[in-house]
Structure 1
Amino acid sequence: MSTDSSLDESAPAFPDGAFGLVGEAIGLTVDELTGDVMRVRWHVVPAVHQPHGILHGGIHAWIHETVASVAASTWFGDQGQVVGVSNQTDFFRAVRDGELTSVGTPLHRGRSQQVWVVETRDAADRLIARGQVRLQNLAGRG
């Protein structure tokens, strides 16, 4: 997992392995992170295929939850923690390989909850999957 220089100065730094084995397997790269957007690139590899040789839908849900949670936490800052309470993902195109980009943006940010939408697109800018993640703001925790 790597990052580049377009990250918000207040955004957390991610040590190697911060996104676990899945993040390492797909080569997750954070290209942009602020309290208003998170953009990541990643690769479809055989290790994350389902038995029919296409990307497993659970990886989409994982990416959507990860992007929404990290971005929401960046926005919430030192007020406390943010935890996911609902993740709904729709799949539009099957993918066997290649690089994908996932971008998360807020739909709602309130005192107690946030809702983020994450869209995943391929190199031709075709919508592959879309997720909506609802998160609970836990003020004073951390």
Structure 2
Amino acid sequence: MTDTDAFPQDTAGWEQAATGTLIERTGIVLTEVGARTTRGRMPVAGNTQPAGLLHGGATAVLAETLGSVAAQQHAGPGRAAVGIELNVTHHRGVRSGQVHGVATALHLGRSTATYEITVTDDADRRVATARLTCMVLAGR
């Protein structure tokens, strides 16, 4: 079995795979996993900057996680997806609660996959918009 065969196909499998990773440290929970759409949430607490606002880097971690998980689902068994470009526009600050992200496929190609990730607060106000492009690699 190669490393790329170990990528889970469901939220429970990803939860187990995230043990000891940045996904676990930031408290990201995946609620839907799929190549076209992946959803998740992350607590604001523990992911703030000194001013008490959600750290922009934490928002980027959520966005890249959701897009990368979706791209891995697109890549399929025996292949891997790796991020090659991420950009994030921050629209509003958040001080408490959770942020919710949705990665939606914009392009699902043979060698690349691109996602738009929207991040909202508990009141469904847009916090950030991101775009992630991943390269799909053949397995080792």
Query: TM-score, with normalisation over the residues of structure 1?
Result: 0.83
Deviation of 1:108 after TM superposition, in Å, equals 0.7
Shift of 1:25: 4.3
Cα RMSD (Å) of the superposition?
2.0
Deviations 1:26-64 (A, max 9, x none): 43221111121111022100x321121111100111111
Give the aligned partner of residue 38 of structure 1.
Answer: 38
Q: Which moved more, 1:22-31 or 1:90-99?
A: 22-31
Question: Which amino acid counterpart does residue 27 of structure 2 have in structure 1?
Answer: G
SS in 1 for 2:76: helix
SS at match of 1:120: strand
Answer whether contact 1:17 1:23 (CA < 8 A) is retained: no
Q: What secondary structure does 1:69 align onto?
A: helix
Q: 1:17 touches 1:24 (CA, 8 Å); kept in 2? A: no
Matches within 5 A, 1:56-95: 56-95=55-94
Unaligned runs of 5+ in 1: 1-8
Of all paired residues, the percent bearing the same amino acid is 33
Which one is further off, 14-23 or 122-131? 14-23
Residue number in structure 1 paired with 2:109: 110
1:120 is aligned to 119
CA distance in structure 1 between the aligned counterparts of 2:75 and 2:21, rounded to whole angstroms:
26
**1:79, CA displacement in angstroms?**
4.7
Bigger drift between 50-59 and 85-94 goes to 50-59
- Please say if residues 34 and 73 of structure 2, whose CA atoms lie closer than 8 Å, have aligned partners that are also in contact: yes
Q: Distance in 2 between matches of 1:97 and 1:17?
A: 27
Going from structure 1 to structure 2, the CA distance change for 1:129 and 1:109 (only over 3 Å counts) comes to same
Q: Unpaired segments of 5 or more residues in structure 2? A: 1-7
Give, in whole Å, the separation in 2 of the partners of 1:21 and 1:54. 23
* 2-structure distance, mates of 1:27, 1:48: 9
